[in-house]
Amino acid sequence: MSGRLQIDLAKGYLKQFESFTCSCIQMNTQKQKISGGHLLRFDPWDNTQYIATTSFLLAAYAKWMVLNNQKLNCDAGTVDAPHVLDFAKNQVHITSIA
């Protein structure tokens, strides 16, 4: 695979992940389902494994945002790294008390 193709693929994956992140933090027109207790809803079974994985990915992405001085552009506005990290931490906290 050529270097240019790898870069294009990485940019495509990043764009998809940014869209997923915006939908999780409820900042996209198409939002990820969320429960009345503000917990992400994926499938009716094994939901906590998806929440844990998503929270880890969002926390890692927030760190990447800080290291690269990036902001996330969602449909509802611009989001900074602390907002993404706070959302991820909140998901873990809600899961631990649920």
Q: Where are the domains of the chain?
A: 3-97
* CA pair distance 13, 11, nearest whole angstrom: 5
pLDDT tens, residue by residue, 44-78: 776 788 899 999 999 999 999 999 999 999 999 99
* CA pair distance 78, 94, nearest whole angstrom: 25
pLDDT tens, residue by residue, 6-31: 777 788 899 999 999 999 999 999 89
Q: Which helix (H) or strand (E) holds 57?
A: helix 47-67
